Amino acid sequence: MSTIQVVSTIAELHDRLGQARDSAALTGGDTRIVLVPTMGALHAGHLALVRRAHTLGGIVVVSIFVNPLQFGAGEDLDNYPRTLDADVAALGAENVSFVFAPNAREMFPGGESDTRVTAGLVGSLYEGAARPGHFDGMLTVVAKLLGIVTPDVAVFGQKDGQQAFLVRRMVDDLNVRSTIEVVETVREPGGLALSSRNRYLDHEQHTAAQTLFAGLTAAVEAAETGPAAALVAAHARIAAQPLVKLDYLVIVHPETLLTVHDDYRGPARLLVAARVGKTRLIDNVSLCLG
């Protein structure tokens, strides 16, 4: 276990990162900086991102910032779990170099500015339709973090598939000099994607939520006969669990994230969102439509 450095200001982070890079250069170490952006409440899925980060560079920075810009009216900003001490302990065990844990005043010293990165059409679909403005807020803070940390690589999870797509597109469109690495979804033994929101599920709901992955798996198995058959298979499997209330279930093209036509054949991604009790869960898988 390393001695982890917890930094709460941008100025201090710049100083510490400069020192770390200089020290690594002097000793022939790896000077690449890898950023893992999070909102805290870390679980095994986050730690998988950290482990991937260690393979990509020698200086690993995990940011922990509950971003107010990506929470809409009636969402759970105030109740979002904040577990900084436990998060720092977990990251120390993973030999993370720095935890950047600013507060809202540090990130927005003049209050929330009117400047926003706009997610465009794709940002208004699926999760964006259910949570208007969510992706503009997410991209704005990710852009700030990339500007603050200036990482060589930033690591995201595939579980938030629409987010990963939009971050990659933003980096390409704005010529940001960071590479985006996306790590496959980490799942529980029953297939449920790991999420900070899983802690809100009671035992019965947790069991019911596993139906989401069962539905995705059914779609993958039926994909060789086309999009319609894949969707029918997924709907049938999920509808068999009354505790799961489907929000959307769509097949999209991986390069545009727009829904595919019934005659489309080739690589695709199936996106799903549903409520189990009061908890909203999302997931996605890749599939090949034959």
Question: Domain of 226: which CATH number?
Answer: 3.30.1300.10
Statement to judge: residues 207 and 156 lie in one domain: no
Which residue type is seen at 213?
F
pLDDT in tens, 129-183: 999 999 999 999 999 999 999 999 999 999 999 999 999 999 999 999 999 999 9
Statement to judge: residues 131 and 200 lie in one domain: no
pLDDT of residue 141: 98
Q: Which of 183, 216, 251 is the last residue of a domain?
A: 183
Statement to judge: residues 163 and 214 lie in one domain: no
In a domain, residue 289? The reply is: no
User: 205 pLDDT band (50/70/90 cuts)?
Assistant: very high
Statement to judge: residues 171 and 225 lie in one domain: no
For range 187-196, the mean pLDDT: 96
Q: How far apart are CA 32 and CA 198, in angstroms?
A: 34
For range 240-255, the mean pLDDT: 98
Residue 22, classified by CB atoms within 10 Å of its CB into exposed (0-12), middle (13-18) or buried (19+), is exposed
pLDDT at 189 over 80: yes
In a domain, residue 190? The reply is: no
What mean pLDDT value characterizes the chain?
96
pLDDT of residue 15: 98
Q: Which of 131, 153, 183 is the last residue of a domain?
A: 183
Statement to judge: residues 161 and 221 lie in one domain: no
Q: How far apart are CA 10 and CA 217, in angstroms?
A: 44
Q: Which structural domain range is residue 259 located in?
A: 196-283
Q: Which residue's structure tokens are 């899925």?
A: 45
pLDDT at 1 over 60: no
pLDDT in tens, 92-141: 999 999 999 999 999 999 998 889 999 999 999 999 999 999 999 999 99
Q: Which of 126, 152, 183 is the last residue of a domain?
A: 183
* Number of domains the chain is built from: 2
For range 228-253, the mean pLDDT: 98
User: 71 pLDDT band (50/70/90 cuts)?
Assistant: confident
Q: Which residue has the higher pLDDT, 81 or 145?
A: 145
In a domain, residue 188? The reply is: no
| Active site annotation includes 46 | yes
pLDDT of residue 262: 95
Statement to judge: residues 144 and 51 lie in one domain: yes
pLDDT of residue 241: 98
Query: How many angstroms separate the Cα of 228 from the Cα of each of 17, 34, 257, 264?
Result: 51, 41, 17, 10
pLDDT of residue 75: 74
Marked catalytic residue, from 46, 235, 253, 261: 46
Statement to judge: residues 202 and 178 lie in one domain: no
pLDDT of residue 289: 97
In a domain, residue 189? The reply is: no
In a domain, residue 288? The reply is: no
Statement to judge: residues 93 and 171 lie in one domain: yes
pLDDT of residue 80: 84
pLDDT at 42 over 70: yes
3-class state of residue 35 by DSSP: strand
DSSP 126-143: THHHHSTTHHHHHHHHHH
Statement to judge: residues 155 and 223 lie in one domain: no
For range 57-66, the mean pLDDT: 97
What percent of the chain clears pLDDT 90, i.e. is strictly above it?
A: 94
pLDDT of residue 2: 61
CATH code: domain of residue 88: 3.40.50.620
pLDDT of residue 112: 87
3-class state of residue 94 by DSSP: coil
Query: How many angstroms separate the Cα of 68 from the Cα of each of 37, 78, 94, 105, 141?
Result: 15, 9, 28, 11, 9
Q: Which residue's structure tokens are 């060589």?
A: 152
Q: Which residue's structure tokens are 């001695």?
A: 3
User: 3 pLDDT band (50/70/90 cuts)?
Assistant: confident
Q: How many CB atoms lie within 10 A of CB 205?
A: 18
Statement to judge: residues 170 and 223 lie in one domain: no
pLDDT at 74 over 90: no
